[in-house]
């Protein structure tokens, strides 16, 4: 096919706000630069991070996103599709390859097509994953592997508590921590208890009826996927060298990370996974693909919306009660 004869369909965001700010747009088709691949997108994720970028929250994030309005007017960060054209210097990919990847802070993943540099986070899609499943690999799976392996440094046999075990990060974390040989406990509502147990949690805590801090258990790692707790609350139920890790940055978390970096054996830690170097993110994805191929990891897809219904997909994602991941396809 001749990619230059088509148009690009995408979703634009010209000012920060709610899902209604999203507008469908048509643009001229992209042409890959020498080291880029042009991908026809089959599925793309609608993640909590996408919602925060759309809303421009937290406000300090606007230092990166654009102070008054989004610097990049297209939205979407994680995608899966097929390579339909390559720049003349591309060596890792060929036309027809099935791939998934991240557009990161260049955005534009909720679209019909995208150009990505082959040196960025672009991976060959394993056959075991559908495009919908592959599209979310850069969200929950990659973030949770980074947090459990590199930030919390989970070791086999350790007790890991996942707060928010039914979300995108949580459903991946339960599977990854179990694959790492940890004993996993997850918190979720009663309706998601079966799901969380089926993913590999040995114990499930219903957050509506039980407070993890009063369960009488101690944990080597508490992974607070939603930022719903704090180091201060977690500390009494952490083991002597326990780690509280959280992907949702707040002033309270920042203070705890700085203070425990200097004092005490129990630590609070944070990381921005999407800001890691592309080669480090690719290394995480290679590990994730091995887990997928060994049947130890399968991304959980809650809902798949038609591409035209991105606004509805954002509204559902923002309820705070999705199970795993939401995609548009
Ligand atoms: N720093 C990083 O590298 C990084 C990377 C990616 C994402 N993030 C951030 O990580 C956060 C988590 O994203 P996510 O996509 O995993 O969230 P999510 O999928 O939207 O979380 C939804 C889940 O949270 C559960 N939940 C709601 N309240 C709860 C509570 N009090 N206790 C336990 N579970 C509760 C819901 O279960 P019920 O319906 O059963 O209540 C639902 O299944 C976001 O803020 C995102 O921006 C950070």
Nearest ligand 1 atom to alpha carbon 187 = 33
Residue 304 contacts residue 328 (beta carbons within 8 Å): yes
Protein residue with its CA nearest to atom 25 in ligand 1:
164
**Closest approach atom of ligand 1 to CA 165:** 34
Q: Work out which ligand 1 atom sits closest to the CA atom of 192.
A: 40
* Cα-to-centroid distance, 207 and ligand 1 (Å): 13
pLDDT at 1: 40
Residues in the chain: 329
Residue pair 192/323 in contact by the 8 Å Cβ criterion: yes
Q: Residue by residue, what is the 3-state secondary structure of 181-206? A: CCEEEEEECHHHHHHHHHCCCCEEEE
| Cα 169 to ligand 1 centre (Å) | 7
- pTM score: 0.97
Q: Which of 320, 323, 324, 326 to mutate to test the pocket of ligand 1 (most atoms within 8 A of CB)?
A: 320
Q: How far is the CA of 224 from the centre of ligand 1 (A)?
A: 9
190 lines ligand 1 (CB under 6 A): no
Cα 141 vs. chain centroid, distance in angstroms? 6
Rama region for 237: left / alpha / beta (φ>0; ψ in -120 to 50; rest): alpha
User: Could you tell me the domains of the chain?
Assistant: 3-137+299-328 (3.90.180.10), 140-274 (3.40.50.720)
d(CA 275, CA 281): 9
User: What pLDDT, on the 0 to 100 scale, is given for residue 105?
Assistant: 86
Q: Is the CB of 52 under 6 A from ligand 1?
A: yes
3-state secondary structure of 163: strand
CA distances (Å), origin 98, targets 36, 43, 260, 271: 15, 12, 44, 30
Express each pLDDT in 196-213 by its tens digit: 999 999 999 999 999 999
Q: Is 208 in the pocket of ligand 1 (CB under 6 A)?
A: no
For position 124, what pLDDT does the model report? Answer: 98
Predicted confidence at residue 104, as pLDDT, reads 86
Calculated CA dihedral for residues 236, 242, 167, 70, nearest 10 degrees = 100
The per-residue pLDDT for range 254-263, each reduced to its tens digit, is 999 999 999 9
Q: Which of 46, 137, 170 to mutate to test the pocket of ligand 1 (most atoms within 8 A of CB)?
A: 170
Q: What does the pLDDT read at residue 5?
A: 58
Distance CA 170, CA 204 (A): 12
Give, for all 329 residues of the chain, the pLDDT tens digit. 444 558 999 999 999 999 999 999 999 999 999 999 999 999 999 999 999 999 999 888 898 899 999 999 999 999 999 999 999 999 999 999 999 999 988 999 999 999 999 999 999 999 999 999 999 999 999 999 999 999 999 999 999 999 999 999 999 999 999 999 999 999 999 999 999 999 999 999 999 999 999 989 999 999 999 999 999 999 999 999 999 999 999 999 999 999 999 999 999 999 999 999 999 999 999 999 999 999 999 999 999 999 999 999 999 999 999 999 999 99
| The pLDDT value given to residue 2 | 43
Tell whether omega for the bond before 19 is within 30 degrees of 0, i.e. cis: no
Residue 234's H or E segment, with its range, is helix 231-234
Contact present, 297 and 275 (Cβ < 8 Å): no
Map residue 29 onto helix, strand or coil: coil
């Amino acid at each position: 096919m001749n990619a230059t004869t088509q148009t690009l369909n995408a979703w634009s965001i010209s000012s920060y706000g709610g899902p209604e700010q999203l507008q469908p747009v048509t643009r001229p088709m992209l042409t890959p630069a020498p080291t880029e691949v042009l991908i026809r997108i089959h599925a793309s994720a609608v993640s909590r991070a996408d919602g925060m970028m759309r809303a421009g929250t937290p406000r300090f994030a606007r230092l990166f996103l654009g102070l008054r309005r989004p610097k990049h007017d297209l939205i979407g960060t994680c995608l899966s599709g097929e390579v339909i054209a390559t720049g003349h210097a591309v060596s890792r990919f060929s036309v027809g390859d099935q791939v998934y990847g991240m557009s990161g802070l260049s955005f534009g993943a909720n679209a019909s097509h995208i150009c990505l540099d082959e040196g960025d986070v672009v991976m060959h899609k394993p056959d075991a994953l559908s495009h919908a499943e592959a599209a979310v690999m850069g969200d929950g799976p990659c973030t949770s592997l980074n947090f459990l392996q590199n930030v919390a440094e989970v070791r086999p046999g350790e007790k890991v508590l996942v707060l928010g075990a039914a979300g995108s990060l949580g459903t991946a974390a339960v599977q990854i921590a179990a694959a790492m040989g940890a004993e996993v406990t997850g918190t979720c509502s009663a309706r998601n208890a079966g799901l969380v147990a089926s993913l590999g949690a040995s114990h499930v805590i219903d957050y509506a009826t039980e407070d993890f801090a009063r369960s009488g258990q101690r944990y080597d790692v508490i992974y607070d996927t939603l930022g719903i707790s704090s180091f201060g609350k977690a500390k009494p139920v952490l083991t002597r060298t326990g780690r509280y890790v959280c992907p949702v940055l707040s002033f309270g978390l920042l203070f705890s990370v700085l203070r425990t970096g200097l004092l005490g054996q129990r630590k609070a830690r944070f990381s921005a996974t999407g800001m890691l170097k592309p080669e480090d993110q690719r290394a995480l994805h290679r590990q994730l693909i091995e887990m997928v191929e060994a049947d130890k990891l399968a991304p959980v897809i809650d809902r798949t919306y038609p591409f035209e219904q991105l606004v509805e997909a954002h509204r559902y994602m923002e309820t705070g009660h999705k199970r795993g991941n939401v995609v548009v396809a």
